């Protein structure tokens, strides 16, 4: 049975048809995840859900313990993650309510958040030219179209620090970079998923036009939440269509992404670091 992880907002674990639902607490060498994991089965697939910001939306994007979240997924046997997130649109044709499957990132975070499992005596350099899994993204695109969504495949996701939204000058700059959408979370998850050799794909829900679209218009939480609530059913439907078509056997490079990444002499790796990393890259140490 394939085990698929889903990271996103609360409510997704209430998906109709999900059986054998349980809450699971995990401990990790990197601290506590955002919340308990919700597990259940949908047909022949085991799903593992996690609310990225905790139930009740308690953590800022910079406060989310991304390392613990991804490590916990790995502990629970997840090899492929579907990330559901709200984004602002930087293109006229990406209308609020549309779905985007991004394939690239530009990093505008500020080094506040932990975005690698390595350090503390171990150096590794993961390949990240193609930061999301193309095979999983193909499946998500097909599922979104089957679900009746308007889908934009590909495009660059600007990952900003937040929590404030962009200034208008920044928003116009991002358009000059020809980016497609802007958000605050997915790049960090994608980096850690790569280091954990987990396939990672994004269902990005366009909720607004950032603040470039009209000089008298600003981004508001109220407008974003309204669009999100309207599209919860669509997100669930996309996931339902996708999980049945995700193969348990992986044929993509994600599964061996760290094979040659660790550069540290194995003889000098500290015992504690070796223990902390055993689940992730122990076979290479």
Distance CA 59, CA 43 (A): 32
Pure H helices in the chain? 66-75, 134-146, 168-176, 186-195, 221-243, 271-281
Span 254-272, average pLDDT: 97
The answer to whether 200 touches 74, Cβ cutoff 8 Å, is no
The answer to whether the CB of 187 falls within 8 A of the CB of 68 is: no
Q: How many angstroms separate the CA atoms of 126 and 136, rounded? A: 19
Among 35, 103, 208, 276, which one carries the catalytic annotation? 208
pLDDT band (50, 70, 90) for residue 10: low
- How does pLDDT run across 154-201, given as a tens digit for each residue? 999 999 999 999 999 999 999 999 999 999 999 999 999 999 999 999
103 flagged as catalytic: no
pLDDT at 216 over 80: no
Is 208 part of the annotated catalytic residue set? yes
Q: How confident is the model at residue 54 (pLDDT cuts 50, 70, 90)?
A: very high
pLDDT digits (tens, 9 = 90+) for 110-148: 999 999 999 999 999 999 999 999 999 999 999 999 999
Query: Which listed residue (35, 103, 115, 210) is catalytic?
Result: 210
Q: Check pLDDT > 70 for residue 215.
A: no
Q: What is the CATH number of domain 2-284?
A: 3.40.50.1580
Residue 231's pLDDT band (boundaries 50, 70, 90)? Answer: confident
């Amino acid at each position: 049975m394939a085990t698929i992880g889903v990271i996103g907002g609360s409510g997704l674990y209430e998906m109709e048809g999900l059986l054998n639902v349980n809450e699971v607490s995990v401990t990790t060498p990197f601290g506590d995840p955002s919340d308990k994991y919700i597990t259940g089965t949908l047909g022949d697939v085991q799903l593992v859900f996690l609310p990225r910001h905790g139930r009740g939306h308690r953590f800022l994007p910079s406060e989310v313990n991304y390392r613990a979240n991804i490590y916990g997924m790995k502990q629970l046997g997840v090899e492929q993650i579907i990330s559901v997130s709200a984004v602002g649109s930087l293109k006229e044709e990406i209308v609020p309510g549309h779905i985007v499957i991004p394939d690239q990132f530009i990093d505008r975070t500020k080094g506040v958040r932990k975005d690698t499992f390595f350090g503390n005596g171990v150096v590794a350099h993961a390949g990240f030219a193609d930061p999301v899994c193309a095979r999983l993204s193909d499946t998500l695109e097909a599922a979104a179209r089957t679900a009746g969504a308007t889908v934009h495949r590909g495009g660059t996701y600007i990952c900003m620090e937040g929590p404030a939204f962009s200034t208008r000058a920044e928003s116009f700059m991002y358009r000059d970079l020809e980016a497609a959408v802007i958000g605050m979370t997915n790049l960090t998850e994608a980096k850690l998923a790569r280091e954990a050799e987990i396939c990672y794909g994004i269902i990005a829900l366009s909720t607004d036009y950032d603040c470039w679209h009209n000089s008298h218009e600003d981004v508001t939480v109220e407008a974003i939440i309204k669009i999100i609530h309207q599209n919860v059913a669509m997100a669930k439907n996309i996931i339902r269509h996708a999980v049945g078509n995700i193969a348990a056997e992986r044929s993509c490079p994600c599964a061996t992404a760290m094979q040659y990444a660790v550069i540290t002499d194995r003889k000098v790796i500290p015992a504690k670091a070796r223990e902390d990393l055993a689940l992730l890259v122990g076979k290479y140490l």
